[in-house]
Amino acid sequence: MTNKQRLDLIEKHIRDHRYADLHTLAARFSISLSTVRRALNELETKGILRRHHGGASLIETDEVSREYDFIARDQRMAAEKFAIASLIADRVQPGMTVILDGGTSTYAVARLLTAKRLQVITNSLPIAGLFGEVGTVETIVTGGSIYNRLGVLVGPLCEQSLEHIHADIAILGGAGITESGVWNHNALIVATQRKMIAAAEQSVFAMDHSKFGRKALALTAGFNPRFTIVTDAKPDAAIARAIDTAGARLTLAKRELVESRRAGTTER
């Protein structure tokens, strides 16, 4: 197979699936990881895809599609996500079994966990790809059907696999948070998150302040004593009161960490 033929096949695969991780491409086309990386770098130079930890995603030209694209979302509120992720990562101790859902806020947490010896269960292909490149984390990927725009596994097989596990902590994101609880856009993602919550001793939600007061398609869960909401700013009184009344915890990331991260991003 020539280099051009290989590039054409990889490009077609990513155009069809919107996202692909390094190991999937290596296995599918019987090539080494280093060859995959070189091919993805070349396709990124041509403006076809965007590289990130563990794989690559198709660059969408449709702005509506970009709203749901994993990489586009990953770049939003980066300083806030890092501050929230740092606080959550500090709660995760070596030896824990950790569930990570497929959001970009949880991906930010995953980046800070790569040096810890953990057992991770995830439905996120980007997170699985990230941990697949380090030797300290035992990674278990759920089954299910791929929701291409976010690179997550959902559906009955995913939900069934989560029914038979137990974790010390589940780390999840969401599209919005109101006094009713945490919301998300997609019914299949919501169903998966509910199984993750049920499987874990405690659930931690990474929610930056842009999610305050926002509803989405479905309510993932109302607040309960096993929940901790980690955010970067105080929500309005109604949300804070609802969290407190339910016995859940509200934890704020340090403002100085947010500001310093934002300043560093601006300098780059």
233 in any annotated domain: yes
**7 vs 96: CA distance, rounded Å:** 40
Do 167 and 226 belong together in one domain? yes
Identity of residue 47: G
State whether residue 169 is helix, strand or coil. strand
Do 45 and 92 belong together in one domain? no
What pLDDT score was predicted for residue 255?
A: 58
Do 87 and 43 belong together in one domain? no
64 in any annotated domain: no
Do 232 and 115 belong together in one domain? yes
CA distances, 144 to each of 9, 63, 77, 108 (Å)? 24, 27, 29, 23
Return per-residue pLDDT of the chain as tens, 268 residues: 788 889 999 999 988 887 888 888 999 999 999 999 999 988 887 878 878 767 888 875 443 344 345 544 545 567 888 999 999 999 999 999 999 998 889 999 999 999 999 999 999 998 998 898 777 899 999 999 988 778 899 999 999 999 999 999 999 999 999 999 999 989 999 999 999 999 999 999 999 999 999 999 899 999 999 999 999 999 999 999 999 999 999 999 975 454 544 445 444 3
Do 27 and 82 belong together in one domain? no
Do 9 and 124 belong together in one domain? no
146 in any annotated domain: yes
Domain count, the chain: 2
What pLDDT score was predicted for residue 139?
A: 95
Do 46 and 85 belong together in one domain? no
Do 84 and 171 belong together in one domain? yes
What pLDDT score was predicted for residue 77?
A: 62
166 in any annotated domain: yes
CATH number of the domain within which 248 lies: 3.40.50.1360
Which residue is listed with tokens 């091919």?
39
Do 53 and 98 belong together in one domain? no
Residues of the domain holding 133: 73-266
What pLDDT score was predicted for residue 76?
A: 57
| Tokens at 31, concatenated | 């090539």
68 in any annotated domain: no
Do 106 and 35 belong together in one domain? no
Q: Which of 125, 121, 41 is nearest to 10 (CA)?
A: 41
